[in-house]
């Protein structure tokens, strides 16, 4: 058992596992049915959206409830560009333009929203962003000249080129997975670098951040804008994979589901974002198959249970299991377990994924 | 073109609509003052209360007649909401107190999903009429101007509720305790106030207030599980515009928003009925940029 744990903890094992998963993901679509490919593609699409949400919620610690709005805006921007005369005339570069616009338009909108919302301390970002999808749906319906109104619009971003000999679903899979992988790599380096550390201290204590010369306001706006841009990328991928968008895409319910997926996957964890994407796509499929009316109840129960027993989300499951195993083996094992400080709830403070308790200064000093 | 009759109706309907926003906003402020949280499930809890009231009324009306049945249903909705609010505080939210406020907020999002889902599971996602004293379209004439009975009832009911709450907070020992907690819960605990119990009362009061708003809305537009999603946005806008720590400001902001959006929908053709929800959103942005602590709010000074 101990040998197994040590084996799992070594970085080489992780590299090997990572490469193995990568090889499987590259080879899989060649042999699997179209439905599997499409499902995995959809998971990648929403994993990117969850990743963006994770930057602002998990890393910068600001609850954001409107991510689906930016996904929807990105999807509309991409679809409208691809369908427009100039977009079609440009051919491949039209698709590139669609991608750039799908990132820029939500990015600018995110920046503007954040500049206003981050001015109020505390939960203002949550309170303002919850309005985005609720305002966004009627606006998308109203601008029917460009958005197609309630009917929505369909757009074929790209099909498989002749020379590849691939089916459309396989080509979409490869393109979406490649873009998603690049975005995940960017996020990985972002949260481990200077900006990631700045986000962490803003999340931990804004006063300390300010005293270190890190403006909480500026970094909140930055994290929010990055989240919105990732949402836009997810929107582009959404159009590439699903080829259709309508006001329903950016509905309030979907927005809440994205937040739930982020928490269930694991806030503040890159792997958690992938798990969140898997959760977002698969769990509603499962519950819809059983009873469509029960989907919301199941989602609500799952997120509350996760918050109660596993605040770090699914991504923290291995660590939680390891801690349980250590505790069971008792104090005779001198090791990290003995030195770990524990809060009464059994959450290890500062353990990366676990949400550390924070003083609620606003209330106590009123 | 300009018709005084329509104008007065728009104002009256706006004030009634604004009273609903105000009730929900006040519920949010009560919870925020006592626990420092924003309860995003407040609207969902109001909808659940309305469903409970509808079910109770429909059971009671054949037995005790329609008037007593409706009254009984409303009382049941308010009582059950109070109990539900207190229970949610004790058994769900208490767990997240003192921890990261963001986690607690996500928990309220989970509650919103759960409660909305439960309503859909039990009562389906179809529209259900709420049995009420008068039909939703009823109106009466005052000096040639038609005033909706619903608007008048709603405005007066919510106004009365606010006065009762004001008396409760200012004139009773319970209110004193609640105010003490909202100012400094640790000192309040040290001076012998049972903080836990009062937090439950705070959540219960907020839920009861929401229940009344829920019943009034259901009486007008019929019941559907997500009927309060938009109201939540209006209420949150009112809370931000008025100032999180100012119940008075919140109510004024709620009325202002509702009257403004009604006038904008009627007189600005590009807004229209479908885009009027964007009005509070724009107002919210202006306030956040010009006076982020809210029009009536105090600047929070934090000691480090």
For the segment B163-208, what is each residue's pLDDT rounded down to a tens digit? Answer: 898 888 888 998 899 888 888 888 888 988 888 899 999 999 999 9
Interface of A with B in 257-286 (CB under 8 A): 257, 259-260, 263
Closest-CA distance, B160 to chain A, in angstroms, reads 28
Specify if A19 maps to a domain. Answer: no
| CATH of residue A250 | 1.10.3470
* HSE, side-chain direction, 13 A CA sphere, residue A138: 15
Assess whether pLDDT exceeds 90 at residue A226. Answer: yes
> Which of B119 and B5 is assigned the larger pLDDT?
B119
> Which of B44 and A357 is assigned the larger pLDDT?
B44
Specify if A360 maps to a domain. Answer: no
Element at A245 (helix H, strand E): strand A244-245
Cβ proximity of A82 and A239 under 8 Å = yes
Assess whether pLDDT exceeds 80 at residue A3. Answer: no
Interface of B with A in 113-142 (CB under 8 A): 113-118, 120-121, 124-125
Cβ proximity of A77 and A235 under 8 Å = yes
* pLDDT tens per residue across span A286-302: 888 888 888 889 989 99
Tokens of A223: 């994290």
- Picking from A263, A294, A299, the nearest residue to B106 by CB comes out as A263
Specify if B262 maps to a domain. Answer: no
Please, which pLDDT band fits residue A358 given cuts at 50, 70 and 90?
very low
pLDDT for B267 equals 86
* C-alpha to C-alpha distances, A93 to A82, A86, A88, A157, B14, nearest whole angstrom: 10, 10, 9, 11, 51
Assess whether pLDDT exceeds 50 at residue A342. Answer: no
Assess whether pLDDT exceeds 50 at residue A355. Answer: no
Mutation to test the B interface, candidates A61, A117, A137, A304, most B Cβ within 10 Å: A304
pLDDT for B273 equals 78
B38 inside 8 A of chain A by CB: yes
Please, which pLDDT band fits residue A232 given cuts at 50, 70 and 90?
very high
Q: Are residues A284 and A347 in the same domain?
A: no
Q: What is the mean pLDDT of residues A120-148?
A: 85
Assess whether pLDDT exceeds 90 at residue B74. Answer: yes
Q: What is the mean pLDDT of residues A308-318?
A: 87
Specify if A25 maps to a domain. Answer: no
DSSP of A352-365:
TTSPPP---HHHHT
Assess whether pLDDT exceeds 70 at residue A91. Answer: yes
Q: What is the mean pLDDT of residues A192-215?
A: 90
pLDDT for A364 equals 40
Q: Are residues A57 and A142 in the same domain?
A: yes
pLDDT for B183 equals 82
Specify if B107 maps to a domain. Answer: yes
Please, which pLDDT band fits residue A5 given cuts at 50, 70 and 90?
low
Q: Are residues A94 and A127 in the same domain?
A: yes
Q: What is the mean pLDDT of residues A27-44?
A: 88
Assess whether pLDDT exceeds 50 at residue A206. Answer: yes
> Which of B85 and A93 is assigned the larger pLDDT?
B85
Q: Are residues A149 and A48 in the same domain?
A: yes
Tokens of A140: 């998308």
> Percent of chain A having pLDDT more than 90?
39
pLDDT for A53 equals 94
Specify if B232 maps to a domain. Answer: no
Tally of CB atoms within 10 A around A216: 22
Assess whether pLDDT exceeds 60 at residue A305. Answer: yes
Determine which of A10-24, A207-221, B165-179 has the lowest per-residue pLDDT on average: A10-24
Assess whether pLDDT exceeds 70 at residue B120. Answer: yes
Q: Are residues A288 and A175 in the same domain?
A: yes
Mean residue pLDDT of chain A comes to 84
Assess whether pLDDT exceeds 50 at residue B132. Answer: yes
Closest-CA distance, A36 to chain B, in angstroms, reads 29
Please, which pLDDT band fits residue A178 given cuts at 50, 70 and 90?
very high
Number of domains composing chain B:
1
Specify if B268 maps to a domain. Answer: no
Q: Are residues A106 and A239 in the same domain?
A: yes
Interface contact B293-A131, CB threshold 8 A: no
pLDDT for A357 equals 42
Assess whether pLDDT exceeds 70 at residue B300. Answer: no
Specify if B222 maps to a domain. Answer: yes
> Which of B66 and A42 is assigned the larger pLDDT?
A42
Specify if A238 maps to a domain. Answer: yes
Interface contact B124-A293, CB threshold 8 A: yes
Q: What is the C-alpha to C-alpha distance for residues A145 and A143, in angstroms, rounded to an integer? A: 6
Determine which of A1-10, A113-122, B71-80, B212-221 has the lowest per-residue pLDDT on average: A1-10
Q: Are residues A269 and A340 in the same domain?
A: no
Domain hosting residue B17, numbered range: 4-227
The residue from A262, A295, A328 where one domain ends is A295
Domain hosting residue A344, numbered range: 310-353
Please, which pLDDT band fits residue A45 given cuts at 50, 70 and 90?
very high
Q: What is the interface pTM, i.e. ipTM, of the complex? A: 0.87
**CA closest to B303 among chain A residues:** A365
Specify if A16 maps to a domain. Answer: no
pLDDT for A7 equals 65
Specify if A328 maps to a domain. Answer: yes
User: Can you give the pTM of this predicted structure?
Assistant: 0.87
Q: Are residues A291 and A175 in the same domain?
A: yes
Q: What is the mean pLDDT of residues B95-122?
A: 88
Q: Which residues contact B114 (CB under 8 A, 6 or more apart)?
A: A296, A297, A299, A300, A301, A304
Specify if B245 maps to a domain. Answer: no
Mean residue pLDDT of chain B comes to 88
Q: Are residues A170 and A82 in the same domain?
A: yes
Q: Are residues A288 and A323 in the same domain?
A: no
The residue from A295, A322, A341 where one domain ends is A295
Interface contact A296-B289, CB threshold 8 A: no
Determine which of A231-240, A346-355, B29-38 has the lowest per-residue pLDDT on average: A346-355
pLDDT for A331 equals 56
SS3 call for B139: strand
Cβ proximity of A267 and B110 under 8 Å = no
- Picking from B92, B99, B233, the nearest residue to A130 by CB comes out as B233
Specify if B239 maps to a domain. Answer: no
> Which of B262 and A335 is assigned the larger pLDDT?
B262
Shortest CA distance to A234 belongs to which of A159, A179, A186? Answer: A179
Specify if B70 maps to a domain. Answer: yes
Q: What is the mean pLDDT of residues B132-145?
A: 81
Q: Are residues A278 and A131 in the same domain?
A: yes
Q: What is the C-alpha to C-alpha distance for residues A103 and A287, in angstroms, rounded to an integer? A: 32
The rounded Cα B281 to chain-centroid distance in angstroms is: 18
Specify if A301 maps to a domain. Answer: no
Assess whether pLDDT exceeds 70 at residue B215. Answer: yes
Cβ proximity of B225 and B47 under 8 Å = yes
Closest-CA distance, A166 to chain B, in angstroms, reads 41
pLDDT for A189 equals 93
Interface contact B99-A357, CB threshold 8 A: yes
pLDDT for A334 equals 47
Q: Angle of helix A216-242 relative to helix A194-204, nearest 10 degrees?
A: 110
Which residues of chain B lie closer than 8 angstroms to A360, CB-CB?
Answer: 36, 98, 101
**CA closest to B304 among chain A residues:** A207
Q: What is the mean pLDDT of residues B259-278?
A: 85
Mutation to test the B interface, candidates A59, A61, A63, most B Cβ within 10 Å: A63
Number of domains composing chain A:
2
Tokens of A197: 């550390």
Assess whether pLDDT exceeds 90 at residue B42. Answer: yes
Please, which pLDDT band fits residue A176 given cuts at 50, 70 and 90?
very high
Specify if A338 maps to a domain. Answer: yes
Assess whether pLDDT exceeds 60 at residue A337. Answer: no
Which residues of chain A lie closer than 8 angstroms to B125, CB-CB?
Answer: 293
């Amino acid at each position: 058992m101990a040998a197994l744990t040590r084996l799992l903890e070594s970085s080489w094992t992780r590299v090997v596992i990572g490469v193995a998963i990568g090889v499987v993901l590259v080879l899989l679509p060649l042999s699997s049915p179209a439905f599997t490919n499409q499902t995995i593609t959809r998971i990648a699409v929403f994993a990117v959206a969850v990743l963006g949400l994770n930057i602002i919620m998990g890393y910068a610690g600001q609850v954001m409830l409107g991510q689906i709005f930016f996904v929807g805006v990105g999807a509309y921007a991409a679809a409208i560009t691809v369908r427009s005369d100039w977009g079609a005339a440009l051919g491949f570069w039209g698709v590139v333009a669609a991608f750039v616009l799908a990132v820029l338009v939500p990015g600018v909108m995110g920046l503007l929203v954040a500049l206003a919302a981050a001015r109020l301390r505390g939960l203002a970002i949550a309170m303002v962003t919850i309005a985005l999808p609720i305002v966004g749906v009627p606006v998308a319906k109203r601008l029917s000249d460009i958005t197609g109104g309630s009917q929505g619009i369909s757009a074929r971003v790209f099909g498989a080129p002749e020379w590849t000999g691939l089916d459309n679903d396989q080509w979409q899979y490869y393109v979406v997975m490649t873009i998603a992988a690049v975005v995940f790599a960017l996020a990985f380096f972002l949260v481990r670098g200077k900006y990631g550390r700045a986000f962490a201290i803003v999340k931990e204590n804004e006063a300390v951040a300010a005293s270190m010369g890190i403006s909480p306001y500026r970094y909140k706006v930055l994290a929010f804008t990055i989240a919105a841009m990732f949402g836009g990328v997810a929107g582009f991928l959404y159009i590439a994979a699903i080829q259709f968008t309508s006001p329903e895409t950016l509905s309030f319910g979907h927005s809440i589901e994205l937040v739930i997926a982020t928490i269930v996957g694991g806030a503040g964890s890159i792997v958690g974002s992938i798990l969140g994407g898997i959760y977002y796509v698969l769990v509603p499929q499962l519950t819809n198959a059983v009873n469509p009316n029960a989907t919301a109840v199941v989602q609500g129960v799952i997120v509350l249970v996760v918050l109660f027993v596993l605040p770090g989300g699914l991504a923290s499951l291995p660590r939680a299991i390891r801690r349980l195993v250590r505790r069971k083996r008792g104090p005779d094992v001198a090791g990290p377990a003995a030195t770990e400080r524990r809060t009464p709830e059994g959450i290890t403070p500062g353990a990366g994924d676990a949400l550390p308790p924070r003083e609620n200064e606003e209330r106590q000093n009123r | 073109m300009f018709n005084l009759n329509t104008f007065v109706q728009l104002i009256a309907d706006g004030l009634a609509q604004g009273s609903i926003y105000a009730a929900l906003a006040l519920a949010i402020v009560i919870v925020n003052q006592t626990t420092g949280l924003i309860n995003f499930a407040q609207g969902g809890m109001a909808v659940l209360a309305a469903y409970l009231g509808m079910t109770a009324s429909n059971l009671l009306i054949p037995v005790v007649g329609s008037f007593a049945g409706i009254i009984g249903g409303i009382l049941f909705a308010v009582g059950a909401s109070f109990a539900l609010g207190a229970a949610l505080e004790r058994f769900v939210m208490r767990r997240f107190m003192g921890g990261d406020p963001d986690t607690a907020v996500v928990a309220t999002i989970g509650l919103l999903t759960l409660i909305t889902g439960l309503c859909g599971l039990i009562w389906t996602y179809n529209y259900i009429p709420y049995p009420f004293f008068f039909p939703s379209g009823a109106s009466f004439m005052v000096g040639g101007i038609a005033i909706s009975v619903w608007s008048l009832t709603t405005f007066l009911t919510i106004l009365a509720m606010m006065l009762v709450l004001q008396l409760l907070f200012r004139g009773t020992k319970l209110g004193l305790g609640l105010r003490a907690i909202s100012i400094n819960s640790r000192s309040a605990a040290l001076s012998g106030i049972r903080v836990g119990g009062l937090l439950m009362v705070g959540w219960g009061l907020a839920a009861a207030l929401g229940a009344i708003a829920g019943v009034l809305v259901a009486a007008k537009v019929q019941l559907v599980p997500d009927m309060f999603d938009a109201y939540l946005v209006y209420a949150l806008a009112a809370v931000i515009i008025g100032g999180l720590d100012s119940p008075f400001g919140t109510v004024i902001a709620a009325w202002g928003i509702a009257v403004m959006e009604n006038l904008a929908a009627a007189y600005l053709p590009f807004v229209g009925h479908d885009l009027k929800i964007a009005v509070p959103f724009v107002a919210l942005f202006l306030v956040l940029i010009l006076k982020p602590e809210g029009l009536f709010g105090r600047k929070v000074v934090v000691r480090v």
